[in-house]
Structure 1
Amino acid sequence: MIFGKIDYINLLPLHIYLKKYPLPNGFKKAMEYKKGVPSKLNIDLFFARIDAAVISSIESARKKYQNLDFGICANKKVKSVLVEKNTKQANDTASATSNVLARVLKQKGRVIIGDKALNLYLKEPNAYVDLCECWHKKTNLPFVFARFSCLKKKALFAKILSKFDKEKTKIPNYILKHYAQSRGINEADIKAYLRLIYYDIKVKEKRALKRFLKEASKL
């Protein structure tokens, strides 16, 4: 059983939770080995190189996948999914959902996602369009950027993740310090960013995802 890992700050609480969860060591080692950006994990799951991952929400809509009500969500603002103003149209090769979202929202410019985007936004917020904020203004809904998808053993993954939202995951100081240094983002900004992110896909999130997929299908 191989779980793919997106090594972005927005999934840091999940990675810490899984480290503490009583999983076989082989599972944890495989998860570290199968790291990648969203677009890479989309491909890895499609070709069954991994068994499960949090993948781009637009990719998760494929009929072959079994999806949990768990993903990367934000409401009103996210700071890490951006379009750079006054630039030529360009996709972020790490992304799938965000590139399509920019087109749905008719935002022209360079798409940037992840920790790199967060770093840039914190330095010069007025230079970028926050696509989550733009989506909320249009729809009054949150946005689901990614969703937990698997090819099999859905019940097992659901069991593993069942206590995630019930337990408040505390990020150890040494890990927080490591991410702050490696990403060039101070610890206070990381904590503030994580308060924008949540993982439970409920009624509003499902409605938002359905609307996004419908609008994306028209492009």
Structure 2
Amino acid sequence: MRFGKIEYLNLLPFDVCIKAYPLPSYIKKCILLKKSYPAKLNQDFLFGRIDAGFISSIAGYDSHYAHRACPSGIIAKGAVWSVIVKKGSGFDYQSDTSNALSQILGLQGEVLIGDRALVFKRSGGEFEDMGEKWWERTGLPFVFGRLCFRAHGELIGRISRVFNKRYATKRKKIPHYMLAAAARRSGLEPWYILEYLEHIFYAMGSKEKQGLERFYREVRLRRIKRPSRA
């Protein structure tokens, strides 16, 4: 199985879940091996280079309506910290969904996502939090990424259910050695990473689906181009 995973701190709990999940070691290696930024994984998924993964919501449009997406995502219910717009200009080459969201919200500035956004926030720079702006506008969660599949849907579905159940709480338990490694890689303190993870949710419920479909409707109305193989 070829699995793609966003290489950001927001999926650190998923790494923990996979390490504990009863799978053959070669499958675990496959799941944890292919890591990249969201826009690159979008292309890998659309061109069939990966079978499943956490895909940016805008690239998961067809999977959502074809029922080839699991009830797991990368979700904000208000401020998210890691998807921001700072003063400046330009889109973030790493994220298709966040660039689309900045257009929908009418935000002017440079889009930053993931660990780069967290480092900027930690430094005290001025920014607008897109998760917070979406919540203020709609009262709905925003789904930044979705666990989608082209194959191995039954296995991915089982993993999704276990993952959602294990991380249904606001506070995320991360083994010390994994937290320390993430802190070294990102340059952020362990306590700050844990505080950030309290702003991330994973289980897709009715409100989350409403938020996702509201986003899709805005994309259609504004004729924002979705990622494609073209």
User: For this structure pair, what is the TM-score category when the shorter chain's length is used for normalisation?
Assistant: over 0.9
- Counterpart residue identity of residue 8, structure 2: Y
Aligned mate of 1:83, from 82, 85, 89: 85
Where do 4+ consecutive residues of structure 1 move more than 3 Å? none
User: Which residue of structure 1 lines up, in the alignment, with residue 40 of structure 2?
Assistant: 40
Deviations 1:3-49 (A, max 9, x none): 11212110000111011112122222223331111111111111111
Which of the residues 72, 92, 98 maps onto 1:70?
A: 72
Contact 2:71-2:160 within 8 A present in 1 as well = no
Partner of 2:179: 176
Preserved CA contact (<8 Å) 1:3 1:51: yes
Amino acid at match of 2:117: A
Structure 1 regions of 5+ residues with no counterpart?
A: none
* Residues 81-129 of structure 1, C-alpha deviations (whole Å, 9 max, x = no match): 01112x12x111110100000000000111000011011112215x111
- 1:213 maps to a residue whose letter is Y
The letter for the 1-side match of 2:70 is: L
| 2:73–2:146 Cα contact (<8 Å) kept | yes
Query: Equivalent residue for 2:113?
Result: 113
1: CA distance, partners of 2:213 / 2:32: 32
Bigger shift: 59-68 or 31-40?
A: 59-68
Deviation digits for residues 104-159 of structure 1 (CA, Å, limit 9, x no counterpart): 0000111000011011112215x111000111111111110000000123222111
Is the 8 Å Cα contact of residues 3 and 27 (structure 1) preserved in structure 2?
Answer: no
Q: Distance in 1 between matches of 2:79 and 2:136?
A: 10
Tell whether the 8 Å contact from 1:10 to 1:197 is kept in structure 2 after alignment: yes
Aligned to 2:188: 185
Equivalent AA in structure 2 for residue 120 of structure 1: F
Question: RMSD of the alignment, in Å?
Answer: 1.4
Q: Per the alignment, do residues 65 and 95 of structure 1 end up closer, same or farther by CA in structure 2, a change over 3 Å counting?
A: farther
Match of 1:213 in 2: 216
Q: Is the 8 A contact 1:56 1:145 kept in 2?
A: yes
Task: Name 1:130's counterpart in structure 2.
Answer: 129
Give aligned pairs, total.
Answer: 216
Give CA deviations for 1:162-198 in whole Å, capped at 9, x if unaligned: 2223235631111111111221111111111101101
> Does the CA contact (< 8 Å) of 1:65 and 1:151 recur in 2?
no
Quote the Cα distance in structure 1 between the aligned partners of 2:53 and 2:127.
Answer: 29
Q: Distance in 2 between matches of 1:24 and 1:42?
A: 26
TM-score (norm 2): 0.89
1:198 aligned to 2:182? no
- Corresponding residue for 1:25? 25
Runs of at least 5 residues in structure 2 that lack an aligned partner in the other structure: 223-230
Separation in 2, partners of 1:95, 1:161: 23
